[in-house]
Structure 1
Amino acid sequence: MAARTGGGPAGTRSRAPVPHRLDRPALGAWAGTRLGVLVLSVSVAAIWSYGDFKDSFLERWTQWDVDLFIEIAKYGYRGDPGRPPDAGLPAFFPGLPILIRTVHYAVPSWELSALLISLVAGGVAMVALARLGGAGTGPKAVLALLLSPYAVFLFAGYSESLFLAFAIPAWLLARQHRWEAAMLCAMGAACVRVTGIFLAVALIVEFLVNDRRWRLSPLLVMPFLPVAVYTLYQWRRTGDWLAWQHAQQEGWGRSLAWPWEAFHTTWQAAFGEHNEFTGAFRVELAGAVVGVALTCWLLFRRRWPEAVYVGLPLASLLTSAFYLSIGRATLLWWPLWLAIGASRRPVYAVVILLSVPLLVWEIVLFTSGSWAG
């Protein structure tokens, strides 16, 4: 893989027609895989329930965090007044719930609103990823991401698609040295997920390594502003400056731990007593291995901005009380998908052949209400 796939401003401008030729295959791959997921989920429901559709299509796709995003969109962070208070709600940044509420003004169904956001945002993200990778790598990277085991969450009303729709364009614009637009996109990403903070730090490294026009440096503060505003809002609401962190602890039992303690706890959960989450913890361990290997590879290649973008959130996940959401976090690691897209054909083919059955299984788990990551 080239050290600067998608390149700086001069290289990008000299090949301006190329990225636009990549838009159609990227959108085609997005639409084709969305149709495939839709058909598969309906078929699985028919087989799983022996033709008796007890839950509607939208209900099958409104599982786990989707319910919580919709609850925030409906009632705010106080939650449903008809239920006990949910201390974990502040763990979710407000970008997606606000957008769900906005789309709901035009779309009667809350569940459909969430799915439509993922549909549109995912298309934007795939076009940006194809352009970032360039003609040789971009389309293959898009397909690898869309067929990856956790790509089920790019279809569901989760925040990954929306985050990528802001974050990858921010990265692409920064590579083109268009910092004003890049920072606006990064602000959008920071409204959606806490990962936006790590993106902001990585963009600072990108600026220091490849630009250094100091008159533009004040722009680098912009992605931190939504996080500051959200922190202030939660403080005004709860009196707690660390409301987000405490919501992680109270909602999911996630607290700071030494890396070896987190690994030991996860290992025990993965290979100790068998239960419905055993397989998920094994996937978390595999995701951790991939993340560490990717970070080391990026450091070896001196890809400092990408190493920061992948390494910092990975470090936070590896120092949690136990591993959670690392597998799903792989969806956000576009350096991984670009590296796979740039790999040799046999390697690429093996990755795809291994990924597709796992993706099918994840779709089965998610739409049946089981924990899928």
Structure 2
Amino acid sequence: MPRIPADAPRRKPSYRAVAGRLGARLGRDDREVLWLYLLTRVGLWATAYCVRWLFPQSSAAHAPQSLFSAWQQWDWWHYLHIAQDGYFPQGAGPWLPRWDNREAFLPGFPLVLRAVHTVVPHWTAAGLLISFVAGAIAVVALARITRLALGNTIAGRRAALFFLLSPCAVFLAAGYTEALFLALALPAWLAAQRHNWPLAALLTCLATTVRVSGLFLAAALAVHWLTTVRPRPHWHALPWLALPALPPLLHSWYLQRNTGDWMAWKHAQERGWHREFHTPWDALQHTWTDAFGHTQTTGYAIEFQAELLAMLVGLVLTGLLLRRRRWAEAVYTGLSLWALGTSYWYMSIPRATLLWWPLWVLVAAWSLRNPRVTTAYACLAAPLMTVLTVTFMTGRWAG
């Protein structure tokens, strides 16, 4: 084999070659990200341990609550009841008073929970295990997306750090849908970067069984396909891009068979969480009033303030993506903001920031240009994460 001179120019690896290497087995950078993930999980469990002792159900308690009690909050009970009893147990449904509106939740997470429960008998432990495994997949995929976008291995670890220290990071560990959704959505986006459209569509299809945000990802994939078909068209991928619409259609059909209502999912959202359509300015006005108008108790008011701040972050993010002509990511975040910003009030936008992977990529890029960004972010985000973690684990609304 002829020797290559030391001063010979080196060819820059192609985008496809870089993407292919990122799809290989776990490398050193992936293991570093997983180590960071494990350390943050230990921190969250340490917080849960302290919450059990510091915030008992009774001020006269001499023993803490159960090990898993801190994680059994809010939406967890809906997922648990669906996994245990289905959507309409013994003929119950929205026609009964005090119905829990469980049909507002998609079946993906409850189905996985029911399957894991066959191996892990404790329901809460099963839910936490799902999120633990899914979160590991998600954080590795996020780091790979960042390395691919920025061409820098340090950037991948930075994005993972910012993501894992985000104020609402507790929802990645709880028995909620965020981790499972990201474990499907982020590898789907990686597959799309490699132009593996069947795999991207299949993973997005599975993501739509978990969260409606999967449809926003499907729209982003379609835009990405339109902007990358040149110079060689990928028309064979077009039928695959319609696949993610199948789970919502099947879910609507199932609910219609039991309720007679094709829009049962939407109507349950309206009954339970006031997610009926309102103009963006009406939603902003209602949220602003609840945040600063002294109409809510202080605990709820500060949460509405967090909703406003998260909406602002989302708008700035979408604007930056549009400015940089990252059309697909802008469509993803823009549709998310539209869906969350056209209800009676803003709700769950801080949690939704976990799903905006372009946010973590851009912050990582910013930190490469300005080293102080990492320190400033950690000093600000870590205390906020602790506050919201305690808020969630003590049964208060945390986004």
TM-score by length of 1: 0.94
Instruction: After TM superposition, give the deviation of residue 238 of structure 1 in Å.
Output: 1.0
Contact 1:287 1:326 in 2 (8 A): yes
Gaps of 5+ in 2: 1-12, 148-152
Of the candidates 355, 362, 365, which is equivalent to residue 388 of structure 2?
362
Corresponding position: 1:284 with 2:291: no
Higher relative contact order (CA 8 A, sep 6+): 1
Of the candidates 220, 228, 248, which is equivalent to residue 249 of structure 2?
228
Report the equivalent of 1:119: 132
Corresponding position: 1:106 with 2:119: yes
Deviations 1:25-81 (A, max 9, x none): 121111110011101220232233488444212121110001110011111112596
Contact 1:71 1:79 in 2 (8 A): no
Contact 2:82 2:110 in 1 (8 A): yes
Of the candidates 135, 142, 163, which is equivalent to residue 181 of structure 2?
163
Gaps of 5+ in 1: 1-5
Query: Which amino acid in 1 is paired with 2:86?
Result: G
Query: 2 CA distance for matches of 1:40 and 1:253?
Result: 32
Corresponding position: 1:34 with 2:52: no
Contact 1:79 1:85 in 2 (8 A): no
Corresponding position: 1:327 with 2:350: yes
Query: Which amino acid in 2 is paired with 1:353?
Result: C
Aligned length: 368
Cα distance change, pair 337–68 in 1 and its aligned pair in 2 (3 A): same
Corresponding position: 1:94 with 2:104: no
Query: 2 CA distance for matches of 1:52 and 1:205?
Result: 58
State the secondary structure of the residue aligned to 2:87: helix
Report the equivalent of 1:56: 66
Corresponding position: 1:146 with 2:164: yes
Deviations 1:155-174 (A, max 9, x none): 11010000000000000010
Contact 1:141 1:337 in 2 (8 A): yes
Report the equivalent of 1:3: none
Matches within 5 A, 1:193-272: 193-211=211-229, 212-272=233-293
Q: CA RMSD in A?
A: 2.1
Query: 2 CA distance for matches of 1:17 and 1:315?
Result: 36
Q: Which has the higher helix share?
A: 1
Query: 2 CA distance for matches of 1:122 and 1:297?
Result: 27
Contact 2:185 2:217 in 1 (8 A): yes
Matches within 5 A, 1:14-33: 20-33=27-40
State the secondary structure of the residue aligned to 2:86: helix
Corresponding position: 1:350 with 2:376: yes
TM-score by length of 2: 0.88
Bigger shift: residues 53-62 or 257-266: 53-62
Query: 2 CA distance for matches of 1:145 and 1:7?
Result: 28
